[in-house]
Amino acid sequence: MSQAKQLNQDHPVQRRIKRPSLLKIALEARLFFEAGSFAMSYPLLQTTPKGDGHPVLVMPGFLASDFSTKLLRTFLKSRGYKSYGWKLGRNMGKQSHPEKGCGPEVIARLEDIYHKHEKKVSIIGWSLGGVYARELAKMRPEMTRQVITLGSPFNGSLKSNHASKLFQKTSGYKFKDMCKDLRKNMKVAPPVPTTSIYSKSDGVTAWECCLEIQDATTQNIEVSSSHCGLGHHPFVMWVIADRLAQEEDQWRHFEPKKLEKLMFSCHAHV
């Protein structure tokens, strides 16, 4: 059973946000259970709504490759979507850009998919991949249908996670070298519908850094998951299917139905 909360709240108070505790790091071992629960829940997940077949680009987290998003993309294909990995190898941070947020090869990947289908692309980004997704949607809103992020730290301190030091070593630049406007505007949502899925028990990223200012086209949804399990957690799959199945230009907030509340202990907060 997963526990989810639909939150309606502002950004966290501007204070120093600590990295996740050692206990939360230890709880990342849940990812193996979550992978197993995905397999067991797959028949149930096949009851989620099918979409209109529009293309979906899935971007992996830091140190991960398209292999990490294979289960998610397989699920998306079962729901009728044209699902794509980013095909840029392992995400070492080199695909980022100190002034634009994401580099030219990331932009080119979106453009290729868009022109192939002549349809707007939904972008799903896991952790650092979600940070790319948001900045990519800001640069190419005319090509982007919606953005869904999984445990992505776009708000608050760039160091409130356990990957910041390694990122600065592998990406080729320091946080101090980043454009000030980019750092300031990272927390600003893209001009397209945007959903942030996060977990308060995340062992890699401080959950407070994953929060949107919720309005008519943005939403925060909490799940009980490890950071490394977000890409195959059954409830995350359920929510993603609901988000993607909405008709274009008719996006609305996720509101768990009675059956969903029974299955997933969902609680809506208004």
Question: Domain 4-11+19-268 classified CATH 1.10.150.20?
Answer: no
Q: What is the pLDDT of residue 10?
A: 42
Structure confidence at residue 261 (pLDDT)? 66
Pairwise CA distance, residues 181 & 138, whole Å: 13
Q: What is the mean pLDDT of each run of 10 residues along the chain (270 residues)?
A: 43 66 87 88 94 97 96 97 97 91 95 98 97 97 98 92 91 89 93 95 94 92 93 94 94 83 45
pTM assigned to the model = 0.91
- For residue 27, the model assigns a pLDDT of 82
Q: What integer pLDDT is reported at residue 139 of this predicted model?
A: 97
Distance CA 20, CA 6 (A): 22
DSSP the chain: ---EEEE---PPPSSPPPPPPHHHHHGGGGHHHHHHHHHHHHHHHTTSPP----EEEEE--TT--GGGGHHHHHHHHHTT-EEE---S-S--STTEETTTEE-HHHHHHHHHHHHHHTS-EEEEEETHHHHHHHHHHHH-GGGEEEEEEES---SS-TTSBSSHHHHHHHSSS-GGGS-HHHHHHTTSPPSS-EEEEE-TT-SSB-GGGG-----TTEEEEEE---STTGGG-HHHHHHHHHHHTSPTT--------HHHHHHH-EEE--
CB 4 within 8 A of CB 221: yes
- Sequence ranges of the domains in the chain: 4-11+19-268
Q: What is the pLDDT of residue 265?
A: 41
The Cα 98–Cα 103 span in angstroms is 9
